[in-house]
Structure 1
Amino acid sequence: MPAPVEEGTRSPGHHIELVDDNPSPRHEGEASPGLRNSKGWDGKLRVPPKSAVLANPEALSDPEYSDDENIHPGEEVAADEDLLDGEPLDTDEIMCTHSRIQSISALQLERFTRVERICLRQNLIQDIEGLDGVAATLQDLDLYDNLISHIGRVGLEPLTELTNLDLSFNKIKHIKHISHLRKLTDLFFVSNKISKIEGLEGLEHLRNLELGSNRIRVLENLDSLKALEELWVAKNKITELSGLGGLPNLRLLSIQSNRIRDLSPLKDIPQLEELYISHNALESLEGLEHNTKLRVLEISNNKVISLEGLGPLVDLEELWASYNLIGDFAEVERELADKKRLTTVYFEGNPLQLRGPALYRNKVRLALPQVQQIDATFVRAS
């Protein structure tokens, strides 16, 4: 769609002028009065009522009339069952993306006796079915960006060898019928319509769980995931960090773009190494004192005024704190100068940068001589 033309401007090559040559009231179907270009065209392609001529009037009276000789052949789309005819039967990977596939069964996957990975991204698949024949070898199933609205009991039942399942960008409302997939290590449900974390019992080997861009309000039903290392729940409606205490191996939490105000529940996961919590409602870093193993902390786009609370985080390597309310260089030095492993800091958009942008980076370098990158700029070693 072309960009709208602002009032008082003209698009090149299209001179428009207002001429009030028809002051009478406008009837329905007529052009707006006076809006014409330099050649008199008023923006509508109109044909006088009696000037239209039908090129083939016999088409109106002859029910068997055909104009096939004038039809241009369109692009022929292969049927689903023919799409994989060129694949060797002993292949270990099938990738068929953006191919308008509607039926997995029609692909006749049972022909491929050694297939380990199937990627059917960006198709029109509505149901998970037709995978029984590859269940013995299939380890990775990628159905990202399809039209799946529910996980049926039968579809995934035979796939007990799966280690990776990606159902992101579908229309799924409930997590169910996957608890028998005990070998799963990576599970992706990004951008669906899920409102509750459930149905994960039995996934004792799961290491990575992605639930971003859903409708989740509460972190719950995670205690059975003892091996979980990474939890991604950005862009939901979560208000509290509770419900994580049963995850002894969790080292990465991404909970950006939610509604978090209080960090104190993080004391239940002292082993955490990476925390991404930008775009929330934080005003303070109080509550991080127990997370002494944090290496990466991302708190950008909050309302944090002070860096107090970072003192015990001796292993901190990266601090991303852009667009907050931090304004005291002395506090920056007091809280971060002893962090020998700190290599990267982001403070752009804070009062300490906005008040004196010309001297900002030099002041950070003086306060934190160990830092190698300030915002997007790498610092030269002196």
Structure 2
Amino acid sequence: MSNSEPKDQAGISHDPAATDTTDTPSHAHDNEKKDDRPRDSKGWDGKLRLSKKDLSGDIAGLNIESDPEVSEDELEGPPPEQLPADEDLLDDVGEDEDEIDLVHMRVADMGSLRLERFGKLQRLCLRQNQITSVELPESLAPTLTEIDLYDNLISHIKGFDAFTELVSLDLSFNKIKHIKRLNHLMKLKDLYFVQNKISTIEGLDGLSNLRQLELGANRVRSIENLETLTGLEELWLGKNKITEIKGLDTLSNLKILSIQSNRLTAITGLEKLANLEELHISHNALTEISGLDSNRKLRVIDVSANPIEHLTGLSQLKHLEELWASNCKLGSFAEVEKELRDKEELQTVYFEGNPLQTNQRALYRNKVKLALPQIVQIDATFVKTV
């Protein structure tokens, strides 16, 4: 998921999410297994970086109830079982080391690692441990630029006051309910909160250098408080409870918007996003493709698993390269040809699971090729060239 690959990634992505986001997408949180899921030209399947089981669900699931909200100060239960000591884990590491990785080592107490020894430390990865609170020596602040605390037991964001050189911070798969005490980290470019308990987007004011924000698989109901993130290029919001796309007008640099597995009934609020290149909006309740008149740079659109019956609203997208529309209700090859044949840059389409495929399986691929001779990939299979 490099950090730009779906980690969902809903994704999300974070196996680019998710980003599956995403699995997420950027920053691959989980190793992808070989399968036949639809993928784009880069091998990403457009989902959050979560397991397929976590992302499963249909449109009828729009009324799924959340876990009851509790106050930030409520106790999280008894502490996890801890190893007697973590002191010796880094005994063989030289003090001039600039990267430390302690993954799945049952580390519970960051203080016992005696990290102050490493005066040149730039990257610290403590994934999949039992850390409940962030305890970092302030002596590391001048050099430390990346902290990865993915999959721990952190409930509250504390301990980052001195770390103003941070460029990347991953707090995914923890127990965080509120985003606090981070908006002084002005150099942050990548910030990950996949699979926490966040219900409100807050505490990010002034992070104008932020390029990637991942909030997939939380409890977010409204897109808000992003106005000052004017440098944002990737926004991952898959698997939340969002009913409307809004609050994005100032994000003129946004290139990727992933908002799959939410509660959307229409595509709105994208008028100011002239630089948008990818829109991942699968697994919602859309009945049509519309609202994209201003997004003429779109290259990738994923509207899979929406009850869309007609292929419309794409005529202005001259640079479209990939259209993912599996498991919709599309039934007309004439519409496919009318809407897409003139798109010279179009290379990949996914239509499996639609009536136009299920009603005539033997002829399906040939009909797509006749309608769209420029295509090089149909669903998960490349088109044979003569």
* TM-score bracket for the superposition, by shorter chain length: 0.7 to 0.9
Measure the CA separation in 1 of the matches of 2:313 and 2:136.
54
Alignment-derived partner of residue 106 in structure 1: 112
Measure the CA separation in 1 of the matches of 2:292 and 2:268.
7
Measure the CA separation in 1 of the matches of 2:272 and 2:191.
24
1:266 Cα shift? Answer: 1.5
Measure the CA separation in 2 of the matches of 1:88 and 1:353.
60
Alignment-derived partner of residue 173 in structure 1: 177
1:264 Cα shift? Answer: 2.8
Once the two structures are aligned, what percentage of the paired residues are identical? 59
Alignment of 1:1-382 (within 5 A): 79-152=85-158, 155-382=159-386
Q: Which amino acid aligns with 1:339?
A: K
Measure the CA separation in 1 of the matches of 2:268 and 2:84.
57
Matched residue SS, 2:271: helix
Measure the CA separation in 2 of the matches of 1:286 and 1:206.
29
**Which residues of structure 1 form unaligned runs of 5+?**
1-75
1:270 Cα shift? Answer: 2.4
Measure the CA separation in 1 of the matches of 2:133 and 2:290.
47
Asked whether the 8 Å contact 1:279–1:300 carries over to 2, the reply is: yes
Q: Which amino acid aligns with 1:229?
A: E
1:129 Cα shift? Answer: 1.3
Matched residue SS, 1:345: strand
1:77 Cα shift? Answer: 5.8
1:289 Cα shift? Answer: 2.2
Measure the CA separation in 2 of the matches of 1:135 and 1:271.
35
Asked whether the 8 Å contact 2:212–2:234 carries over to 1, the reply is: yes
Measure the CA separation in 1 of the matches of 2:168 and 2:278.
23
Q: Which amino acid aligns with 1:113?
A: G
Measure the CA separation in 2 of the matches of 1:303 and 1:178.
40
Which structure has more relative contact order (CA 8 Å, sep 6+)? It is 2
Measure the CA separation in 2 of the matches of 1:166 and 1:86.
26
1:151 Cα shift? Answer: 0.9
Instruction: Render the CA deviation track for 1:290-314: whole Å, top value 9, x for unaligned.
Output: 2111000001000111111011010
Radius of gyration: which is bigger? Answer: 1
Asked whether the 8 Å contact 2:246–2:268 carries over to 1, the reply is: no
Matched residue SS, 2:345: coil
Show structure 1 runs of 4+ deviating over 6 A. Answer: none
Measure the CA separation in 1 of the matches of 2:291 and 2:184.
37
1:318 Cα shift? Answer: 0.2
Q: Which amino acid aligns with 2:186?
A: R
Asked whether the 8 Å contact 1:105–1:129 carries over to 2, the reply is: yes
Distance 1:286 1:130, change over 3 A: closer
Matched residue SS, 2:208: coil
Asked whether the 8 Å contact 1:108–1:130 carries over to 2, the reply is: no
- Aligned CA RMSD, in angstroms, stands at 1.2
Measure the CA separation in 2 of the matches of 1:217 and 1:242.
11
How many residues of Structure 1 are paired with residues of Structure 2 in the alignment?
305
Matched residue SS, 2:269: helix
Measure the CA separation in 2 of the matches of 1:309 and 1:187.
33
1:268 Cα shift? Answer: 2.5
Instruction: Render the CA deviation track for 1:268-294: whole Å, top value 9, x for unaligned.
Output: 312210000000000001212221110
Measure the CA separation in 1 of the matches of 2:310 and 2:272.
23
Measure the CA separation in 2 of the matches of 1:346 and 1:248.
29
> TM-score, length-normalised on structure 1?
0.79
Measure the CA separation in 1 of the matches of 2:342 and 2:137.
56
1:203 Cα shift? Answer: 0.8
